[in-house]
Structure 1
Amino acid sequence: MFAAATSGLIMGGTLIIAVGAQNSFLIEQSLKRQWTALFVLLFIISDAISISLGAMGFGVLLQEYPTLISITKWAGVAFLLWIAYNKIKSSMADDALVLATAHKVLPFKKALLIALAVTWLNPHFYLDTLLLMGNLASQWQQDKWWFVAGAISASVIWFVGVSTLTAKFAHHMQRPRFWRWFNRANAAVLGLVSVQLASL
């Protein structure tokens, strides 16, 4: 029981860090302090649903429909490149516009759609949570739900920790140079993730 939960915690934590688009979005929202708690909850629930479905064997069904994975992959690539382009565009504006863009509050509906997209349009999310974590959970047989609990705990620790620590740096929001480089770094992460997705 303890071993299964610990294994789930370690594996879950290792995989969550790799979901760059999700983390980039959460960091930006945490810096802006816009609906952060809601998005933390959304990401945790999404992980919990996908990992649990994987433990129940739904990952096998996904493997039988490679076309679905392909459609999701290219939709995710296009979406991430579009966001990266806008980040680069924002970073090249003058100081006043950089700050105006940084402080701009996204409409809740748009922010929610982006949060859902960086999660559910990302094939890495399915491969890591539904397939890999699901397969690992099934190896624990009777203790598989302890493994799932450990993995979900990793999500809670990671997303709550990232949002809390990032919020402490919110005072940097008054510096155009910070946002200029933050947008460029964000675009680089999103571009790298899109290249990784395209190569799957």
Structure 2
Amino acid sequence: MLAATTSGFVMGGTLIIAVGAQNSFLIEQSMKKQWTTLFVLLFILSDAISISLGAMGFGLLLQEYPMLVTVTKWAGVAFLLWIAFNKIKSSLANDALVLAMAKKQLSFKKALLIALAVTWLNPHFYLDTLLLMGNLASQWQENKWWFVGGAIGASVVWFVGLSTLTARFAHHMQRPNFWRWFNRLNAAVLGMVSIQLASL
């Protein structure tokens, strides 16, 4: 029981940290202090749903219908490259405009669509949570739900911790150069994720 929970926590934490697009989005929203709690809950709930479905065997759908992964992959690649392009564009503006864009509040609808897209249009999300974590959970047999609980616990710790830490230091990040380089780094992360997706 304890071994299964610990294993789920460790494996879940390792995989969650690697989902760069989600983390970049959450960091930016946490610095702006815009609907952060909602997106933390959304990411945790998404992980919980996908990992639980994987533990119930739904990961087999990815193996039986690879077209699902292909369609999601190219939609995700296009979307991430579009966001990366806009981040680079923002980083090239003058100081006043950089700060103005950094403080600009997204509409709730747009922010929610981006949050859903960086999660559910990312094939890595499915492969890591639905397939890999699902397969690992099934190996624990009668203790598989303890494994799932541990993995969800890692999701809670990571997303709550990341948003809380970022919000705490947000007041140190209100300089044009910070946002300029943050946007460039963000674009680089999204670009690398899109390249990884395209090579799947």
> Which residue is equivalent to 1:158?
158
One-letter identity of the residue aligned with 1:126:
Y
CA–CA separation in structure 2 for the residues paired with 1:123 and 1:67: 12
Mapped to 2, the partners of 1:141 and 1:82 lie a distance apart of 42
Shift of 1:174: 2.5
Q: Distance in 1 between matches of 2:54 and 2:86?
A: 34
TM-score (norm 2): 0.99
1:102 aligned partner: 102
- 1:58 & 1:113 partners in 2: Cα distance? 25
Letter in 2 for 1:86: N
Equivalent residue for 1:184?
Answer: 184
**Paired letter, 2:141:** Q
Rounded to whole Å, the distance in 1 between the matches of 2:174 and 2:27 is: 16
Matches of 1:106 and 1:158, distance apart in 2: 24
- Other-structure match for 2:195: 195
The share of aligned pairs that are identical, in percent, is 85
Q: Distance in 2 between matches of 1:56 and 1:26?
A: 29
- Give the 4+ runs in structure 1 shifted more than 3 A: none
Give yes or no for the alignment of 1:34 onto 2:34: yes
1:103-142 → structure 2 map (5 Å cutoff) = 103-142=103-142
Partner Cα separation in structure 2 for residue 119 and residue 181 of structure 1: 24
Looking at structure 2, the residues matched to 28 and 162 of structure 1 have their Cα atoms a distance apart, in angstroms, of 11
Deviations 1:18-76 (A, max 9, x none): 00000000000000000000000000000000000000000012211111110000000
Count of residues paired in the alignment = 200
| Matched-pair contact (CA < 8 Å) for 1:55–1:137 | yes
Unaligned stretches of 5+ residues in structure 1: none
Contact 1:13 1:151 in 2 (8 A): yes
Give TM-score scaled by structure 1 length: 0.99
- Matches of 2:118 and 2:125, distance apart in 1: 9
Contact kept, 8 Å, 1:21 with 1:190, in 2: the verdict is yes
Q: Superposition RMSD on alpha carbons, in Å?
A: 0.6
